[in-house]
A and B are shown apart, each in its own frame.
Chain A
Amino acid sequence: MSVDIKRREYGSGISLTEICDPKFKSFTVCIRMVMPMIPEKAPLYSLAADIIATSTRKYPQKEELSRALAELYDASVGSTESRLGDKQIVMLTLNCICDGYTIGGEKVSQKAVRLLLDCLFDPWLENGALSEKYFNLCRADMIDEIDAVVNYKNRYAAVLANKRIFENEMSAISLCDYREPLLSADPASVTEAYYELLKNAYFDVYISGGECDGQTVEMLLSELDKPGRTPYEVGSYLSPSAIKPEVCRAEDRARMNQSLLIMAYKTDSYNEYASKLFCALLGSTPTSKLFSNVREKMSLCYYCSSTVIDMKNTIVVSSGLDEQNLSIAEKAIAEQLEAIQKGDFTDEELENTKTYLAEAYLSNYDSKYQLMIWYNYQFAHGTNDTPEEKGRKIRALTREDIIREAQGYRLDTVFCLKPEDGGDSDEM
């Protein structure tokens, strides 16, 4: 593949990864600010990132910044927040087309990177604090987003299930838990959080895509690598979740028509590659055990799939079905997992699943975002696999490896979100 990857570490808590492939006509710069997950601080860091993405000293109004970005051929700067293990990651991301594709040969990439850096280091301040106007607007927007979680029943069920699956762990904290801290926040506390991010966050920076201006790396480093920082020492992202001595069974109700079933399995002998393959064989492909049996043979549901929760040695199985079929589905899912634990799968099933994963890994080469996610995943896990290398490692696994890995998984939590009496209707 023609992808060129360079990763450099800088002493002051900065790593910079360049992933360049000239076939891409645009590029992404992502500044990932890694912090320990601190429940009372996490909402403030997230809100601070939202506020600084709205405006800069040069463009104090959101619309002005938006227009400046539109003039750079639909460049965009956005903020997002995610979680990996027990770390919080607050991100500012720029997307922009490469200079070679502008209509009149204008150079836009350097200007776009400048806007990204201005958002981070030169935001619009009023009396030394982040803008009160955007504090209020971004906070209101975030609270609306929290309130709207209930609109998306799968997401809502996952939030409620994680409370039980990861009880007393940082991973149990969701966006919904941000509501109260946000209501008691003020511009001063969010400004303080913003300066904490600048001072204490580990900057894990990615430039991914086509060729961007040669000055980009220097521009980023000269701004990010400032004296006086005391960056967070990230250490390991691994945050294994202990298996509960007894299976936790819980349910909630919501105004809906279909029930949602979430089952979590955990292991204390996690092997990343074997778990990925086991999970795919169980329920991540259209020929997996769960799809073939629980959906196709039993016609119980539209979807029944499994996924690995990264860094948590946990596999979660999800399905949506009628309430009266919940116990039948739970039994059927358990049977499919037991089948793999007993080696009840063919060599053909195993080889097909390996091929499916290996091919899916290769597809990352065609997306600058996926390449960025791929290499971030590698560095977070302390590995450095290319998609081909990971495919080879998956292909080298034996059926005994999969049986052993499957046998390590034990049922930890069963959560059901069920309809309230009468479900939800179209009637006024």
Chain B
Amino acid sequence: MKCEFETVRSGITGDEYRIYHHPSGLDVLIMPMEGFTTTEALFAVKYGSVNNCFKTLDTGDFISVPDGIAHYLEHKLFEGEECGAFEQFAGTGASANAFTSFDVTAYTFSASSDYREPLAILLDFVQNPYFTEENVEKERGIIAQEIKMTNDSPTRALFFEMLTSMYHRNPVRIDIAGTVESIGEITSELLYKCYNTFYNLHNMVLSIAGNVDEETVLRICDEHLKPVENRMLECRFPEEPAGVVKHRSEITRQVGVPLFSFGFKCPPLTGRELLRTSIAADLMLKVLFGSMSDWYKNAFESGLINSSFGCEVFSSDQGYLMLILTGEAKDPEAVYDSICQKIRSLDFAQFDTELLSSLIKAAYGSEIMRSNVVSECAESMCFSYLQGVSCFDTLDIMSGLTAEEVFAASSMLDIERSSFCVVRS
């Protein structure tokens, strides 16, 4: 079948890939990488743990489903009527896997000699669910153990404590896998309902990079994709207040050194505006609190923080955007005071623009290294596409940012909209 396509090219590095609009409704992203042995593919759905209230032409009104169902569905899709997906992959030597995040579910494989059969298997098993009450029940124990395993991680406990302290209603506050109790409500009927809602090729993408040629990938897509009608999926999120649930919280776990997370809740954004804001915020955090900043030097040398300290922007177009400063500290309260003091005394005249230039140069180097890793390229194309941008936009946007714009992102460090969470023994 003939596909229309767009070429996406980086004006800075010269790398490129193509987006083919397959007649089945699926967009196929292909990045051939000369000289590489492996092929990495992701068949991804714009569906994660936050999408628990939705409607389509088939459901009528909005319906709500139990927490953790997207992740449960990911587990069960590997089941087949005659043979499971892992058994099918076994003869090919490809390594298959899957993951569910807050906003994406993806099925992946990595192949070395020949990607054709693994690609056909990937497309087939994701399009052919087989859920029975018996096989759904069998999975419950396995997922319960996965939940218990992750619950034993103090770092993860801190992360979700921070999300529940910041968000009143957005489902990002709920653990991706749900709870042992919530997965008890999941049935094969509910799994089919979610599958039929979200696993529509119009709501999915295939991203493939490495040792591939476009013609072969498209031929396999022609042979294995089943065209579907767009069922006009619509997700609903509860209205989220601007403020946080609580400014301070503390939980107990067995930890060697107390852990802390300082989160700042920001207004949600989407698309390129979200990417631009996230990039500016990330650079701002690195200039003010990163390992080359004056604040870090003082805090590290005075023993306030250790080398586990880090800062990041955590965001999605599904209604959440936050800035996070996190690490280990013997006296978390002192870290809180020090960060607040820094925020209250912010002044553009003191903003280290030389450091900003170095960070932008470093970001270019880091992008060059990343663009040389097959799995990173496949993932980056996929996640960027699902957020409505391209994987080359980061460098393009970064190269156009001014110091004033980066400094302006510090207005997102609003202490009135922050939560400071601590884990202690």
Q: Mark A85-123, 1 if CB is under 8 A from B, else 0.
A: 000000000011100010100000000000000000000
Chain A interface residue count, CB cutoff 8 Å, equals: 73
B113 x A359 contact (CB < 8 A): yes
Q: Are A151 and B154 in contact (CB under 8 A)?
A: yes
Q: How far is it, in angstroms, between the C-alpha of A71 and the C-alpha of B149 when the chains are bound?
A: 41
Q: Given contacts A26-B369, A257-B152, A363-B38, are A144 and B300 in contact (CB under 8 A)?
A: no
Residue of A nearest to B138 (CB): A299
- A-chain residues with CB within 8 Å of residue B364 when the two chains form the complex: 73-74, 103
> Are B36 and A23 neighbours in the complex by a CB distance under 8 Å?
yes
- In the complex, how many angstroms separate the beta carbon of B65 from the nearest chain A beta carbon? 22
Q: Is there contact, CB below 8 Å, between B38 and A366?
A: yes
Query: A26 contacts which chain B residues (CB < 8 A)?
Result: 368-369, 372
In chain B between 296 and 325, which residues have their CB closer than 8 angstroms to a CB of chain A? 296-297, 300-301, 303, 306-308
Question: Does B81 lie at the interface of the complex (its beta carbon under 8 Å from any beta carbon of A)?
Answer: no
A299, B257: Cβ atoms closer than 8 Å: no
How many Å from the CB of B289 to the closest CB on chain A? 13
- Closest chain-B Cβ to A426's Cβ sits at a distance in Å of 5
Interface status of A248 (Cβ within 8 A of chain B): no
Residue from B12, B140, B148, B359 within 8 A of A70 (CB atoms): B359
CB < 8 Å neighbour of B255 from A151, A257, A296, A301: A151
- A71–B35 touching, CB < 8 Å: no
Whether A397 is near chain B, meaning CB under 8 Å from some CB there, is no
In the complex, what residue of chain B is closest to A22 when comparing beta carbons? Answer: B35
The digit string for B363-381, where 1 denotes a CB below 8 A from any CB of A, is 1111011011110000000
Cβ-based interface call for A220 (8 A): no
Please tell me if the beta carbons of A360 and B306 are within 8 angstroms of each other in the complex. Answer: no
Tally of contact residues, B, Cβ under 8 A: 75
Partner of A366, one of B12, B148, B210: B210
**Residues of chain A lying within 8 A (CB to CB) of residue B113:** 359, 362
**Beta-carbon nearest neighbor of A98 in chain B:** B368
Q: Given A144-B308, A362-B113, A426-B251, does the pair A63, B292 have CB atoms closer than 8 Å?
A: yes
Chain A positions 213 through 228: 1 when the CB is less than 8 Å from some CB of chain B, otherwise 0: 0000000000000000
Q: Chain A residues with Cβ under 8 A from B148's Cβ?
A: 257-258, 320, 322
Of the 9-residue stretches B83-91, B183-191, B272-280, B383-391, which lies at the interface with chain A? B83-91
Contact yes or no, A355 B142, CB < 8 A: no
* A241-257 Cβ-contact flags toward B at 8 Å (1 or 0): 00000000000001111
Q: Are B252 and A141 in contact (CB under 8 A)?
A: no
Residues of B near A367 (CB, < 8 A) are 373
Q: Which of B92-100, B223-231, B333-341 contacts A (4 or more CB under 8 A)?
A: B92-100
Q: Which of B37, B89, B157 has the most CB of A within 10 A?
A: B37
A residues within 8 A CB of B255? 148, 150-151
Taking a contact as CB atoms under 8 Å apart, the answer to whether B361 and A286 are in contact is no
B250 at interface, CB cutoff 8 A:
yes
Interface flags for B89-132 (1: CB within 8 Å of A; 0: not) read: 11111111000000000000011110000000000000000000
- Does A67 lie within 8 Å of B140, measured CB to CB? no
Alpha-carbon separation in the docked complex, A363 to B253 (Å)? 39
Separation in Å of the A204 CB from the closest CB of chain B?
24
CA distance A2 to B148 in the complex (A): 46
Q: Check B161 for interface membership: any CB of A closer than 8 A.
A: yes
Interface code B344-374, partner A: CB below 8 Å = 1, 0 otherwise? 0000000000010011011111101101111
- Is B93 a contact partner of A301 (Cβ separation < 8 A)? no
Q: Which of B91, B93, B142, B365 contacts A302 (CB 8 A)?
A: B142
Contact (Cβ within 8 A) B95 A360: yes
The residues of A that contact B366 with a CB separation of less than 8 Å are: 74
Contacts A73-B365, A362-B38 known; 10 new A-B pairs at CB < 8 A: A70-B362, A101-B368, A103-B361, A137-B300, A137-B303, A286-B89, A296-B142, A299-B138, A301-B145, A363-B112
| Nearest 10 A/B pairs, CB to CB | A73-B365, A147-B256, A359-B93, A23-B35, A74-B365, A299-B141, A74-B362, A362-B112, A255-B254, A355-B93
**Interface on A for B, CB 8 Å cutoff?**
1-2, 21-26, 61-63, 66-67, 70-75, 95-97, 101, 103, 133, 137, 140-141, 144, 146-153, 254-258, 285-287, 295-296, 299-303, 320-322, 348, 351-352, 355-356, 358-360, 362-363, 365-367, 424-428
24 contacts between A and B (CB under 8 A): A24-B372, A70-B358, A70-B362, A73-B365, A96-B365, A140-B306, A148-B328, A151-B254, A302-B143, A351-B91, A352-B91, A355-B93, A356-B95, A359-B92, A359-B94, A359-B95, A360-B112, A362-B37, A362-B112, A363-B37, A366-B36, A367-B373, A424-B151, A427-B251
List the interface of chain B (C-beta within 8 A of A).
12-13, 33-38, 86-87, 89-96, 110-113, 138-143, 145-146, 148-149, 151-155, 157, 161, 210, 250-257, 259, 291-292, 296-297, 300-301, 303, 306-308, 328, 355, 358-359, 361-366, 368-369, 371-374
